[in-house]
Amino acid sequence: MSGGTVVVVTGGTRGIGLGLVRAFLARGCRVALCGRSAGAGAAAGEAGEALPGPADRVLERVADVTDRGQVQALWDAAYERFGRVDVWINNAGAAAPRRPFWELSAADVEAVAAANLLGTAHGSAVAVTGFLAQGRGRLWNMEGFGSDGRALPGLGAYGATKSAVTYLTRAIAADLDERARAHPHDVKALRLSPGMLVTDLLVHGYTPEQYAKARKVLDILADRVETVTPWLADRVLNDRTRNGGRVAWLTRRRAAARFATAALRRRDVLPETLPVR
């Protein structure tokens, strides 16, 4: 893939999503993005002043990814504006408060499951259906903590949804392989793993005391959005990942190397205190 590639990024108005939008635009792509509400769209509009490239290469829509009709409308708008969609990235997500699973309210659990799993499922269904009609396309689903099977206290709801996203993506890839035997196509379902990036989602739910303790590890493992998203965009556009495969920034080898050199190379990527909201 090269300049002119049409990319859709859900949850593209802030954080990792906005970083990806900027990276793709800087590489000559045309990009459609969405936020959950008019308020989110307005915020992206302000940030849009710093977006690289001409405005006619950007399409912004309001879309709630938990509503398949709104997700379909996002696809339709991108297709109408750009004539095709080459890459769809399910990035929109949410996190629950960091507390034992049984202490989470039903609303907390339902909100995380809806955004992370249901939203990814709807985006995947819409994108793959459109890609098969075109004969070609790349679906990328965003992994997160829990995708590799690890578990930590306070991350039960979030980790469970990300584990499910990984399985869902692999299952879609298997379905695509099965379909290709009878009806050849060039559609892939893939996984994008950004690692720990400094966003609101990373520090969501910490008390000041918990944050002070966690920051010691996060400063070793975390990276800034502007460091990682260009690398991720390059790998997406490189298009060498096999169907069902994964592109990961924070590999186990990289994490181990950082811990091994932590005493020699100090990293300060997070603020000393929790950001005020």
Angle between helices 119-134 and 156-182 (to 10 degrees): 20
Please list, in sequence order, all residues whose beta carbon lies within 8 angstroms of the beta carbon of residue 161, skipping any fewer than 6 positions away: 112, 113, 116, 117, 146
Quick check: helix, strand or coil at residue 232?
helix
In angstroms, what CA-CA distances link 183 with 130, 174, 231? 15, 14, 33
Sign of dihedral through CA atoms 120, 122, 128, 131? negative
211 noted as active-site residue: no
C-alpha span between 14 and 193 (Å, rounded): 17
Catalytic position from the list 158, 167, 206, 211? 158
Amino acid at 270: L
Q: Yes or no: say if 115 and 92 are a contact pair by the CB < 8 Å rule.
A: yes
Which residues participate in catalysis according to the annotation? 158
